[in-house]
Structure 1
Amino acid sequence: MINYHQQQTRRQLFGQSALGLGTVALGSLLTSNSQADRSNPSGYAGLQDLPHFAPKAKRVIYLFQNGAPSHVDLFDYKPTLKKHHGEQIPDEISGGKRFSTMTGGQKERPVLSEITNFAQHGECGAWVSDFTPKIAGIADDLCFIKSMHTDAVNHAPAITFFLTGSEMPGRPSMGAWMTYGLGQGSKNLPSFVVMTSRDKEASCGQIFYDFYWGSGFLPSRFQGVKFRGQGDPVLYLSNPQGMSREIRRGILDDLAKLNEINFAEMGDPETQTRISQYEMAYQMQMSVPELTDFSNEPKHILDRYGPDVHRAGSFAYNCLMARRLAERDVPFIQLMHAGWDQHRNLNTQLKVQCIDTDAPSAALVRDLKERGLLDDTLVIWGGEFGRTPFLQGKIENTSTWGRDHHPYAFTIWMAGGGIQPGVSYGSSDDFGFNVVENPVSVHDLQATILHLLGINHERLTYKFQGRNFRLTDVFGEVVKPILT
């Protein structure tokens, strides 16, 4: 330790001189904002005043459908579309609206009928497409929000908006905010886990940017940990040849002491991140192999998720992993499945996407319910916007039917965690074009999610560049009618 202090580098000298009292202030701020257990560096107990009130949900599973599922083909039944199929959509409905460059200059906007068949399901009588029969089978457990709307018309900004509260990258993601506020749920697994997947044909898939689960200006210890879809979910789970677990434990303990000295002198929160991540990596060497071992899962459970459940990296596999993570008290689980961007192949690709996602999504909800976990687990299913009720292209080209991005009205569904089951909230007009009843914005949804976790969205803030930031920016109202 004496040698450590004597061997001060030029960079350290300038860094300490420049920071001065600011370093002390930052260290004080970090101490006052957290209840970190120094005897267990991987542990983080969250902010002292949280939760603000009794939560109804302990964890969130967000099934994010990248590319935007077509609401009028899946969950928002509009007979008017079939009645006016091929006709120009009325100007009073679509006039003056902004779309992507793919239809922004398109003069003809013919109404495109739904390409699926709808029927009512459950005691609630929810209208659900025949492309999603398994989701239809759990309709009485779901809350369909049919009045979602957003500001963005392109994928990356729209996804970023949903997951971070801003269309521009750089803000903390929802899972990072939750982990920062409420702390770590599991000592052996990350508090924020992300898994990604694509459709079987690997077509029209969106890019998975790291900032979708990033920590933004929060310390990086709060960013999501992405599990890989091939090989080991996490790299370097095994010790190098010749290194025992006992030797690794000793190295980590010594490294933690050195990092604690560095943190005490410099006050850099990323030093604490290194301490916690080294410790978490050590714990995951034991927890992850057990997590990914499906050998004890009953056959009827595996069959429920579908045949792809055995293919690592598939949406079905990730959904079962999500249930197993929920059982192990991981607070925020974010699954992202790409392939819904159906501009020219709606009549072929939509069914592929539904085959990939329908059974696993429903199986996850049923699985959680049977294990008594759904009551305090909030499940969210939806994309970044919907698809246009009019056709992109010409009605005669039946082999290339598709729909453009549609931010003005679309549908998501939620289940468990304090959400009323078997209800539909809000509505769009007869064409599924504009919201006409109980509009729900992206910030309203975020405020509602935080509320269910026991967080007042206006009070969960972080000061950065002289301003107190929050997930919902300066907007957002809790959607109280959908709460139990």
Structure 2
Amino acid sequence: MTDSTPLLLSRRAALKAAASGFGYLAFAGLSTWSAERARPTTAVGPLAPKLPQFPARAKRVIFLCMEGGPSHVDTFDHKPKLAIDAGRRFGDGARGGQLMPSAWKFNRHGQSGLWISELFPQVARHADDLCVINSMQTDLPNHPQAFAQMHTGAFQFRRPSVGAWTLYGLGTENQDLPGFVTISPPANLCGPLNYGSSFLPAAYQGTRIGFSNRPVADAAIANATNPRSSTAAQRLQLDFLQSVNRRALEREIVSPELEGVIDSYELAFRMQGALPKLMDLSGETEATRRLYGMGDQATDDFARQCLLARRFVEAGVRFVELCHGGWDQHRQLKEAHGRNAAAVDKPIAGLLADLKGRDLLKDTLVIWGGEFGRAPYAQGSDGRDHNAKGYSLWMAGGGVRGGLAFGRTDDYGYEAVDDKVHVHDWHATILHLLGLDHQKLTYRYAGRDVRLTDVKGNVVKGILA
């Protein structure tokens, strides 16, 4: 086995290696068991914690996904020339219209002086923690394709999600909980593909809690409890079933599907005790509830999502995604963007403050953004069309430079012109902050070593702290 060959071990080999006190590595270029690289652990199997390939700045990720495409020129990308040239014709054909200024004022915030619109007054108080990338780009201005590319790096083929790749590379720190959780994901826009594991083992897929447009307070993990059998009785049943599975695995030698079944059954059994307690917010203090905005009709749902995210990462979950939909404003931009921002502003600010107060923000990478931005020209009287050529997202904590506006779009916010950051570059940077080399984190599939960034992507070094 050469240094450039990915290590693909069966569960049996992983168990034997774990007995020697070494963790399980599956990186191209790190294809041997190594005391220098592997972490001694009592946990076995695909979710056992693994050391990063190099010193990590972040240990975990919270992705605040704003589905639909928030308007960057109305939130984090200040474009005063839109007001100066309002009404002037911009673009050609169907992809054009009259330039429309933002309906919201922008002000500088924090010691860094970041420009943030009045849509986000609470988040603006954390300006010096935010690294705003104003030069994002993706390939297509269509929701399904852009949403899939944001999550998996591709839209032409089924691929593992960034959360699944993260879990594959690092494992998780709590063996009684799923390592990758997605809260209120959209049922459309390719649905489970955005948090799936595709050709990676099934253990790395996301665990869904709830659906978008449904109150997260009513969300639950199906079959998390068994009212008909005691824990001891379930353990006896599971031991028998697993003995049958393992005998089948002895015959097969290598069977990723069967290995996945064995691991998922064990995790499901352990989750029965841990997950319901973690999702119970009744023990949180009134001050914490107010901090996130729980109890307020406008903010309660996303507040619960954000508070769950803090509880999950604090308990050792590696990757948590929250989703807030409805940002696709082809019309009624002022009303709908105002409503959407009001629903997430206080909960997000509460999350940042809570993480910081618990000394978790420094090694938790918090990300906010959607699949693309919106056009600087008007669609109808009060709307904006899609724009994939230039848009904004921000990151905080986890080793990024706070108080930074990185990259630039043109004077109207239509296209990135300086320090362009493609989705592939963004993915490479996320993995880098987690201590993973996007070129070496690979999986052998269909005859080649596949990675999240395919054959592209560069780490955006200008945003690193």
Task: Report TM bin, short chain.
Answer: 0.7 to 0.9
User: Structure 1 counterpart of 2:78, which letter?
Assistant: Y
Q: Give matches, 1:127-276, under 5 Å.
A: 127-196=115-184, 207=189, 209-228=191-210, 229=216, 231=218, 233-241=220-228, 243-266=229-252, 267-276=254-263
The equivalent residue for 1:105 is 94
Contact 2:10 2:255 survives alignment (8 Å): no
Q: 1:44 aligns with which of 43, 47, 50?
A: 47
- Structure 1 residue 343 displacement after superposition: 0.4
User: Structure 2 counterpart of 1:327, which letter?
Assistant: E
Report the Cα distance in structure 2 between the residues aligned to 1:162 and 1:218, rounded to whole angstroms.
18
Contact 1:135 1:358 survives alignment (8 Å): yes
User: Structure 2 counterpart of 1:386, which letter?
Assistant: G
Report the Cα distance in structure 2 between the residues aligned to 1:323 and 1:208, rounded to whole angstroms.
27
Length, aligned pairs only: 431
**What is the TM-score of this pair, normalised by structure 2?**
0.87
User: Structure 2 counterpart of 1:367, which letter?
Assistant: D
Report the Cα distance in structure 1 between the residues aligned to 2:62 and 2:168, rounded to whole angstroms.
17
Report the Cα distance in structure 1 between the residues aligned to 2:293 and 2:190, rounded to whole angstroms.
24
**Residues 310 and 117 of structure 1: is their aligned pair in 2 closer, same or farther, counting only changes over 3 Å?**
closer
**Residues 265 and 28 of structure 1: is their aligned pair in 2 closer, same or farther, counting only changes over 3 Å?**
farther
1:368 aligns with 2:355: yes
- Structure 1 residue 413 displacement after superposition: 0.5
Q: 1:385 aligns with which of 366, 372, 386?
A: 372
- Structure 1 residue 105 displacement after superposition: 2.5
The equivalent residue for 1:345 is 332
**Residues 197 and 303 of structure 1: is their aligned pair in 2 closer, same or farther, counting only changes over 3 Å?**
farther
Report the Cα distance in structure 2 between the residues aligned to 1:306 and 1:232, rounded to whole angstroms.
19
Q: Specify the SS of the correspondent of 1:278.
A: helix
The equivalent residue for 1:474 is 455
**Residues 390 and 27 of structure 1: is their aligned pair in 2 closer, same or farther, counting only changes over 3 Å?**
closer
User: Structure 2 counterpart of 1:364, which letter?
Assistant: L
Q: Specify the SS of the correspondent of 1:271.
A: helix
Report the Cα distance in structure 2 between the residues aligned to 1:27 and 1:137, rounded to whole angstroms.
46
User: Structure 2 counterpart of 1:224, which letter?
Assistant: G
Report the Cα distance in structure 2 between the residues aligned to 1:258 and 1:311, rounded to whole angstroms.
51
- Structure 1 residue 334 displacement after superposition: 1.0
Contact 1:81 1:112 survives alignment (8 Å): yes
Contact 2:49 2:170 survives alignment (8 Å): yes
The equivalent residue for 1:328 is 315
Per-residue CA deviations over 1:314-353 (Å, capped at 9, x if unaligned) read 2221110000001101001011211100001102100110
**Residues 43 and 118 of structure 1: is their aligned pair in 2 closer, same or farther, counting only changes over 3 Å?**
same
Q: Give matches, 1:286-435, under 5 Å.
A: 286-307=273-294, 314-393=301-380, 397=381, 401-435=382-416
User: Structure 2 counterpart of 1:86, which letter?
Assistant: G
- Structure 1 residue 46 displacement after superposition: 6.0
| Of 294-303 and 36-45, the range deviating more from structure 2 | 36-45
Contact 2:148 2:190 survives alignment (8 Å): no
Q: Give matches, 1:4-15, under 5 Å.
A: none
Report the Cα distance in structure 1 between the residues aligned to 2:111 and 2:390, rounded to whole angstroms.
25
- Structure 1 residue 260 displacement after superposition: 1.4
Could you say which structure has the larger radius of gyration?
1
The equivalent residue for 2:429 is 448
**Residues 312 and 355 of structure 1: is their aligned pair in 2 closer, same or farther, counting only changes over 3 Å?**
closer
- Structure 1 residue 27 displacement after superposition: 11
Q: Specify the SS of the correspondent of 1:137.
A: helix
Report the Cα distance in structure 2 between the residues aligned to 1:464 and 1:371, rounded to whole angstroms.
41
- Structure 1 residue 289 displacement after superposition: 2.0
**Residues 308 and 194 of structure 1: is their aligned pair in 2 closer, same or farther, counting only changes over 3 Å?**
farther
| Of 167-176 and 34-43, the range deviating more from structure 2 | 34-43
Contact 2:396 2:402 survives alignment (8 Å): yes
Report the Cα distance in structure 2 between the residues aligned to 1:197 and 1:211, rounded to whole angstroms.
11
Per-residue CA deviations over 1:434-462 (Å, capped at 9, x if unaligned) read 11211111011100000011101000011
Contact 2:299 2:344 survives alignment (8 Å): no
User: Structure 1 counterpart of 2:361, which letter?
Assistant: L
1:73 aligns with 2:74: yes
The equivalent residue for 1:86 is 87
Alignment RMSD (CA, Å): 2.4
| Of 165-174 and 456-465, the range deviating more from structure 2 | 165-174
Report the Cα distance in structure 1 between the residues aligned to 2:45 and 2:209, rounded to whole angstroms.
19
User: Structure 2 counterpart of 1:425, which letter?
Assistant: F
Report the Cα distance in structure 1 between the residues aligned to 2:163 and 2:302, rounded to whole angstroms.
20
| Of 32-41 and 126-135, the range deviating more from structure 2 | 32-41
User: Structure 1 counterpart of 2:85, which letter?
Assistant: H
Q: Which runs of 5+ in 1 are unaligned?
A: 1-25, 96-103, 199-204
Report the Cα distance in structure 2 between the residues aligned to 1:232 and 1:152, rounded to whole angstroms.
33
Per-residue CA deviations over 1:227-265 (Å, capped at 9, x if unaligned) read 123645211122132x11111111112222211111222
Report the Cα distance in structure 2 between the residues aligned to 1:316 and 1:208, rounded to whole angstroms.
26
Report the Cα distance in structure 2 between the residues aligned to 1:232 and 1:143, rounded to whole angstroms.
32
**What is the TM-score of this pair, normalised by structure 1?**
0.84
Q: Which runs of 4+ in 1 moved over 4 A?
A: 31-43, 205-208, 308-313
Q: Specify the SS of the correspondent of 1:64.
A: strand
Q: Specify the SS of the correspondent of 1:303.
A: helix
Report the Cα distance in structure 2 between the residues aligned to 1:364 and 1:479, rounded to whole angstroms.
25
Contact 1:41 1:275 survives alignment (8 Å): no
Contact 1:230 1:313 survives alignment (8 Å): no
The equivalent residue for 1:30 is 10
Contact 1:160 1:168 survives alignment (8 Å): no
| Of 273-282 and 445-454, the range deviating more from structure 2 | 273-282
Report the Cα distance in structure 1 between the residues aligned to 2:184 and 2:404, rounded to whole angstroms.
29
The equivalent residue for 1:23 is none
Q: Which runs of 5+ in 2 are unaligned?
A: 1-5, 20-41, 211-215
- Structure 1 residue 311 displacement after superposition: 10
